Amino acid sequence: MSLLRTAVRPATRLHLAAAPLTIAARQLSFKPIYTAESTVKGARNGHLTTKTGNLDLHLDTPKEFGTKGGPGTNPEELLGGGYSACFGGALAAAAKELKLKLDPETTITSFVSIGPKQPKGFQLAVKLQVAKSGLEGQDFDRAVEVAHQICPFSHALKNIDVETVKA
């Protein structure tokens, strides 16, 4: 079976043990394979921890928001890192599906922008920069297109501007 079909078929057919559903009081449209649990106390100037203990981070609002800034990370950096990692995995699966050779040194750099949304609130935009992929021209374009079809971050962020470019 192709990797693309494997990536999108139901978890029950993947022969993986599903994690216990910890999202109470709502029905999901899929059977989760894994559920991450993260807690933030204090919002943008707070502290983030995960149930696994793998993340234990101080958060600071960037100085561009009119604050003094600080050494902590922020939601935009966290989103960018997660999206880059997830899209890199999707690009590898897409290349394999398309029988293309993706360089193991492929690097995904994200640029997550936040700005005002009219009439109120804020909005995001993302640029994903793919470097050292070894893919050129139509092969690059096809692999990126299929990767966006596979990547759950791309699905989740479909209502924001996402641009993917070759470095």
The reported pLDDT for the residue numbered 27 is 86
C-alpha count within 13 angstroms, C-beta hemisphere, residue 83? 26
In the chain, what are the domain boundaries? 74-167
Per-residue pLDDT tens for 81-96?
A: 999 999 999 999 999 9
| pLDDT tens figures, 47-105 | 999 999 999 999 999 999 999 999 999 999 999 999 999 999 999 999 999 999 999 99
Confidence (pLDDT) at 67? 95
Q: Virtual CA dihedral for 108, 114, 115, 118, nearest 10 degrees?
A: 100
Residue 42: pLDDT band by 50, 70, 90 thresholds?
A: very high
DSSP state at residue 73: B
Return the SS3 of 124.
strand
Residue 26 pLDDT > 80, yes or no? Answer: no
Looking at CATH, the fold of the domain delimited by 74-167 is given as GMP Synthetase; Chain A, domain 3 (3.30.300)
CB 18, CB 33: distance < 8 Å: yes
Is a pLDDT exceeding 90 seen at residue 8? no
Nearest-10 crossing angle of helices 75-97, 137-150: 120
Q: Report, as an integer, the average pLDDT of 154-165.
A: 95
pTM of the full predicted structure? Answer: 0.83
